[in-house]
């Protein structure tokens, strides 16, 4: 088994550690294995791989999620640089609703964050030229794209960035606060075949 999981403080949120085989050439590691993940209790069918480069340190992307029927679970890793990666529980009825959890991920540590559907996700880059890669289990569906303002005081996220230095897209800077989402979502699993 090349993977081990650590349960984080929000139910379902996992830190996935990967065995790295090092030799004089460098290293080899698996980054995802459907069989191994199933053995660990993570039954997920990824359908899309994403990658982003954030040039300035202090780039904030998030907090993002897709609403049903295209809600997404995400497996996030950093290829280069480092991030403070954050997930916010948006599952109606969850004892953790509205609570956040953050972990540092970097290109030099074989760790990934597994974020189940029902969470908003975002990160701030801690170094210039940071490359983030993640797999998602539902396709991109712009009509289902949603987000919450990264520094909504109601969330109280302790972002390791000076807010006046944070670099955001215009879209992310204009996202609503959590209080704007009054209707709880039904976080049923997305069906890729529904995409036309
Ligand atoms: C997310 C996404 C975006 N796009 C396009 C839309 C847009 O023109 C351009 C940039 O999109 P965004 O500004 O939303 O990219 P970005 O801010 O990097 O969005 C990502 O943020 C992180 C935190 C996540 O969790 C991801 O799920 C995703 O929402 O890429 C796709 O074609 N496919 C996709 O899956």
Complete edge-to-edge strand list for the sheet that includes strand 74-80: 3-7, 14-18, 111-115, 74-80, 130-136, 48-54
- Does 134 participate in catalysis according to the annotation? yes
Whether residue 162 is contained in a domain is answered as: yes
What pLDDT does residue 187 have? 55
Tens of pLDDT, residues 15-45: 999 999 999 999 999 999 999 999 999 999 9
Q: Does 190 map to a domain?
A: no
pLDDT tens-digit profile of 72-119? 999 999 999 999 999 999 998 899 999 999 999 999 999 999 999 999
pLDDT at 186: 56
Is the CB of 77 within 6 Å of ligand 1?
Answer: no
Q: What phi and psi values does residue 35 have, to the nearest 5 degrees?
A: -65, -50
Is the Cα dihedral 169, 174, 180, 183 positive or negative?
negative
pLDDT digits (tens, 9 = 90+) for 49-63: 999 999 999 999 999
- Flag whether 160 is in a domain: yes
Q: Report the pLDDT averaged over residues 109-137.
A: 98
Global ipTM:
0.98
Distance from residue 186's CA to the centre of ligand 1 (Å): 22
- pLDDT exceeding 70 applies to what percent of the chain? 92
How many structural domains is the chain composed of? 1
Q: Is 64 a catalytic residue?
A: yes
Asked whether residue 193 is domain-assigned, the answer is no
**What confidence score (pLDDT) does residue 99 get?**
97
CA of 21 to the centre of ligand 1 (A): 32
Going by pLDDT thresholds of 50, 70 and 90, the confidence category of residue 183 is low
34 lines ligand 1 (CB under 6 A): no
Give the closest residue to 160 by CA, choosing from 128, 119, 125.
125
> Tell me, what CATH number does 100's domain have?
2.60.120.10
Give the active site residue among 64, 70, 114, 121: 64
Q: Which two tokens stand for residue 91?
A: 């599952």
pLDDT (tens digit, 9 = 90+) per residue, 144-182? Answer: 999 999 999 999 999 999 999 999 999 999 999 999 886
Residue 188 falls inside a structural domain: no
> Does a structural domain hold residue 8?
no
Ligand 1 contact via 147 beta carbon (within 6 Å): no
Give nearest CA residue, ligand 1 atom 1: 140
């Amino acid at each position: 088994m090349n993977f081990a999981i650590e349960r984080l403080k929000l139910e379902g949120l996992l830190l996935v550690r990967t065995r790295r085989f090092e030799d004089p050439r460098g290293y080899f590691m698996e980054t995802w294995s459907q069989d191994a993940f199933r053995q660990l209790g993570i039954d997920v069918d990824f359908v899309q791989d994403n990658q982003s480069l954030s040039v300035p340190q202090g780039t904030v992307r998030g907090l993002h999620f897709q609403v049903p029927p295209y809600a997404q679970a995400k497996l996030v890793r950093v290829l280069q640089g480092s991030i403070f990666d954050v997930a916010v529980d948006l599952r109606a009825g969850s004892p953790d609703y509205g609570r956040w959890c953050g972990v540092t991920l970097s290109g030099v540590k074989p760790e990934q964050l597994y974020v189940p559907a029902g969470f908003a996700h975002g990160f701030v880059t801690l170094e210039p030229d940071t490359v983030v890669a993640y797999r998602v289990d539902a396709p991109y569906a712009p009509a289902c794209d949603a987000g919450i303002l990264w520094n909504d005081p109601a969330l109280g996220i302790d972002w390791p960035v000076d807010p006046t230095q944070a670099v955001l897209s215009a879209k992310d800077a204009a996202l609503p606060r959590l209080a704007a989402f009054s209707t709880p979502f039904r976080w049923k699993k997305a069906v890729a075949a529904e995409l036309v």
